[in-house]
Structure 1
Amino acid sequence: MADPTQSAPAVSTHGAGASPAPGATHEAAGAEHGSGGLPQFEFQHWGGQIAYLLVLFAILYVLIARVFTPRMRRVIDERASTIAGALEAARQVQAEALEQSRAAAADLAEARARSQALAFDARAKAAAEAAERSAIEEAKLAAQLAEAETRIAGMRDSAMAQIGAVANDTAMAIIEKLTGKSASAADLKAASAVRGGAA
């Protein structure tokens, strides 16, 4: 972009109507060519460019400090608060799980002890019932055995009495057959006593 202050003298020079010399024509062309460069690389424009940069920097700084930074800080704080809440919730859940596991372990130990006590009581009760049944059966067997012994003793005494009577009858029959006289029971008893004394 050409500077108007530099192009004005060239226009006024050409507007005089005089025919320029060939050297002047080349100088004017060189001046026009030189004035068509980038203005940001020309030293006379650096002051304005620096001012613009400072203004832009100030605007960006204000935007960053007043708008973007609070938003970013708010987002970061919210995220940090969310993370802290999640960590606290996780700690609470872990503590509750640990407490529940301890309570479950205590309940399990109590149930195990109760079941062992019940099993011991059941074994003791079964043993007592078995001992009671065994005592009852032994008493029944003892009573039956005593009754059987009493019956056997009565049968033996009865059999012995019958044997004695049969023996007396047989002896009386033998004596009567041998002697031709009948013997009484008193005679048999006396003879038995005499024989027993001689023995």
Structure 2
Amino acid sequence: MADPHAPAAADAHGAAADTHASTEADHGSGGLPQFEFQHWGGQIIYLVFLFLVLYLLIDKIFAPRMRRVFDERAETIGKAVEDARRVQNEAQNQAEAGQSELAEARASARRSADAAKARVNEDIARRTAEAEAVQAGRVAEAEGRIGKMRDAAMAQVEAVADDTTKAIVEKLTGKTATAAELKAAKGAA
């Protein structure tokens, strides 16, 4: 069934389309307004105004702040590098001083060790000389006693030889030899 309102809706739709078409014809080509020459003057003025505002903001506010931050950072880094170099030089000087103190301590220790060694060697030499002197005295004393004992033994050797000779003569001959006979036999030998 056909809708009784259908022709009226189609007419209303057609009328709206005609109104839209006539509006586009009145305004130009119907494209983007930025590309229409009639709007370029206002756009250029707006662009120049925005450029000047941004330039002034950057030049007067943002750039000085950034410059200050960069300068502070450069100053901080410069001070840190200078402090690091100073500390490194101090550390190197302290290391050199420590090395010289160590060398001096080693030399002192070596001198002390050499002096102690010399004292010990002198003490050993003195004690050795004392011990050798004591031993030499004991040896001389012992040699003196040995000499006396030898002389006493030699004196007794003659008596022992006489006794032995008497005993041998008595054993062989069965007679006892007299002292005069023994003396005569010694003189003949």
Do both proteins adopt the same fold according to a TM-score greater than 0.5, normalized to the shorter chain?
yes
In 1: Cα distance, 2:152 partner to 2:30 partner:
166
- Of 94, 99, 104, the match for 1:100: 94
Q: Which residue does the alignment assign to 1:143?
A: 137
The one-letter code sitting in structure 2 at the alignment partner of 1:75 is V
Q: Which residue does the alignment assign to 2:126?
A: 132
Offset at residue 101 of structure 1 (A): 1.4
Q: Which residue does the alignment assign to 2:107?
A: 113
In 2: Cα distance, 1:97 partner to 1:138 partner:
59
| Deviation larger for 85-94 or 42-51 | 42-51
Change over 3 Å in CA distance of 1:153–1:62 after alignment to 2: same
In 2: Cα distance, 1:80 partner to 1:67 partner:
20
Q: Which residue does the alignment assign to 1:88?
A: 82
Change over 3 Å in CA distance of 1:82–1:175 after alignment to 2: closer
Could you report, residue by residue, the CA deviation over 1:96-126 in whole angstroms, capped at 9, with x for unpaired residues? 2211211121121112111211221122122
Ranges in structure 2 where 5+ consecutive residues have no aligned partner: 1-18, 167-176
Aligned length: 157
Change over 3 Å in CA distance of 1:32–1:156 after alignment to 2: same
Ranges in structure 1 where 5+ consecutive residues have no aligned partner: 1-24, 179-187
Change over 3 Å in CA distance of 1:30–1:96 after alignment to 2: closer
TM-score (norm 2): 0.68
Offset at residue 175 of structure 1 (A): 4.4
Greater RCO, 1 or 2 (C-alpha within 8 Å, sep 6+):
1
- Of 53, 57, 63, the match for 2:51: 57
- Contact residue 24 and residue 30 of structure 2 kept, 8 A: no
Change over 3 Å in CA distance of 1:161–1:44 after alignment to 2: same
Q: What's the secondary structure of 2:111's corresponding residue?
A: helix
Q: Which residue does the alignment assign to 2:116?
A: 122
- Contact residue 34 and residue 40 of structure 2 kept, 8 A: yes
